[in-house]
Amino acid sequence: MLTQRLTRAIGTPVVRVTPFTGGGYTPARRMIVELSDGTAVFAKQGVNEYTAGAIRREHTNYRRLRGSFLPRLVGWDDDGDVGPILVLEDLSRAVWPPPWSVDRVRRVLDTITEIAEQPVPDGLAALEFDGVGGGWREVAEDPEPFLSLGMCTSAWLDRALPVLLAAAESAPLKGDRVIHFDVRSDNLCFDGDRTLFVDWNHACLANPEVDRTFLMPSMVSEGGPQPEQVGTFQPEMVAVVAGFFACRAGLPPVPGGPGVRGVQRTQLEAALPWATRVLGLPSLGA
């Protein structure tokens, strides 16, 4: 059944399907598919409502967007249930960070700019600004999930919250440019002169500084340079990024996405010290 669906989606007979175990924090099924013409492609299949919805949104965005930063869309098959299949060019031989270097980070930042400069496609929604910028407000209302992570004391949070709230709520999130809104190492690679982003299910319209700033914690947590070495970032936007992860990392696992909280915690471990530095807050150990 799977082979038949893949053949229908691609338009070329399938010879072999091999599970792909690298990347991804959800249980979506990932495969390298070998074809009768000697080529190979990458396929991703939903396995529950969460992953099916994400894959359908991603396919819609592949059809909307154009650019060298996009993998080539090869095929699509939708069963109308939880198992839609998206087929893309095979990038398994591309270079996937880490390791990071200043040059690689700047290539990614340049690609974010390229994405933001393309024409806005019809139907692409705006970023849900309150859901992104309201992280510290959620922490203020219920601090226990954040404090349970053990990254700071309740006394530190009491002192820092007014500054974090004021900064995040003044951040210029709104914009009319295309952003990826999930820029991190497992969602990007380098293939020759191309810098490619994958997993486009979160694409939306906002200020491109959102993507630039959200990249930094992922890169730093993997041994990359500090943000100050690769660019200038608005303190208000840094506060937003730290708050985004602070209000989520300590929550129960995401249904259908068991690895999500772990990666959110890892990024918070980089984002929170960064926010502390740029906002002149007391040391986290204080």
pLDDT digits (tens, 9 = 90+) for 7-44: 999 999 999 999 988 766 788 999 999 999 999 999 99
Q: What one-character-per-residue DSSP string does 72-137 give?
A: PEEEEE--SSS--EEEEE--TTSB-PPS--HHHHHHHHHHHHHHHTSPPPTTPPBP-HHHHHTHHH
Confidence check: pLDDT of 62 > 90: yes
- What pTM, to 2 d.p., does this model score? 0.92
Over residues 104-135, the pLDDT tens digits come to: 999 999 999 999 999 999 999 999 988 899 99
CA-CA distance, 175 to 206, in Å (whole number)?
Answer: 4
Over residues 76-106, the pLDDT tens digits come to: 999 999 999 999 999 999 999 999 999 999 9
- DSSP H helices, the chain, are 2-10, 49-64, 102-116, 129-133, 135-141, 144-147, 154-169, 209-221, 235-246, 260-278
Work out the burial of residue 212: count CB atoms within 10 Å of its CB; fewer than 13 is exposed, 13-18 middle, 19 or more buried. buried
- Residue 286: band (very low, low, confident or very high) from pLDDT cuts 50, 70, 90: low
Rounded to the nearest 10 degrees, how much is the dihedral formed by the CA atoms of 238, 241, 244, 248? -110
Q: What would the two tokens of residue 207 be?
A: 């200020």
Q: What domains appear along the chain, each with residue ranges and CATH number?
A: 2-89 (3.30.200.20), 102-278 (3.90.1200.10)
Report the amino acid identity of residue 100.
W
- Residue 257: band (very low, low, confident or very high) from pLDDT cuts 50, 70, 90: confident
Over residues 204-254, the pLDDT tens digits come to: 999 999 999 999 999 999 999 999 999 999 999 999 999 999 999 999 998
Instruction: Give the orientation angle of helix 235-246 with respect to helix 260-278, to 10 degrees.
Output: 150
Query: Are the C-beta atoms of residues 212 and 109 closer than 8 Å to each other?
Result: yes
